[in-house]
Amino acid sequence: MKKMVLAAMLAAIGVLTSHLVYIPVGVAKCFPMQHAVNVIAAVFLGPWYAVGTAFVISLLRNMMGVGSILAFPGSMIGAFIAGVAFMKVRKIEAAVIGEMIGTGIIGGMAAVPIANVFLGTSKAAFALVIPFVVSSMGGAVISYVLLKTSAMDRLKDRYEARS
């Protein structure tokens, strides 16, 4: 139950903050705050809850008309790989790199057929990978800085003590 509540809180933060910072690059809107939330969810909740959080953020943004259909593959793959990387290595850096690889490269490639079907564009994979990499790098840096603060250390300690 506690994990679901934290996942819901992170999803709300992701939806609310996604409009604070966004970078239009190519055919995609790059929302680095979703990627920051992905890494934080991966560290605190693990891969499956991180994927669920990413899905909810993408879904709500699309339902509100402020997201892109391309948010689904990138964010969910990135959150999963970040969660698995953190689970295996137990280092924030692993989650950050996992998010960048999962969203930036793998998610960008996975978005190609979706862009072709739903957006009517047959741009080369490279045209989608670059915006995904830019967005995930920005979010990864934001999450890294946040997760390295002493306040976040206290929150992690408190969360782990109650688990």
Q: Domain range holding 103?
A: 31-162
Map residue 29 onto helix, strand or coil. Answer: strand
Residue 49 to residue 64: CA distance in whole angstroms: 22
Residue 41 lies in a domain: yes
Residue 10 lies in a domain: no
Confidence bin at 61 (pLDDT 50/70/90): very high
Residue 22 lies in a domain: no
CB 67 within 8 A of CB 95: no
Residue 119 lies in a domain: yes
* Verdict on whether the full-model pTM lies above 0.75: yes
Confidence bin at 126 (pLDDT 50/70/90): low
- Number of Cβ within 10 Å of residue 88's Cβ equals 10
- Residues 6+ positions from 110 with CB-CB distance below 8 Å: 73, 74, 77
Residue 137 to residue 163: CA distance in whole angstroms: 30
**pLDDT above 60 for 102:** yes
Residue 146 to residue 140: CA distance in whole angstroms: 10
Number of domains in the chain: 1
Residue 25 lies in a domain: no
- CATH number of domain containing 108: 1.10.1760.20
Residue 37 lies in a domain: yes
CB 113 within 8 A of CB 122: no
Residue 73 to residue 36: CA distance in whole angstroms: 16
Mean pLDDT rounded to a whole number for the chain: 87
| Nearest C-alpha neighbor of 93 from the set 43, 138, 41 | 43
**pLDDT above 60 for 125:** no
CA-CA-CA-CA torsion for 41, 48, 161, 35, nearest 10 degrees?
-10
Please give the pLDDT value at position 66: 86
Residue 19 lies in a domain: no
Residue 4 lies in a domain: no
Residue 101 to residue 1: CA distance in whole angstroms: 30
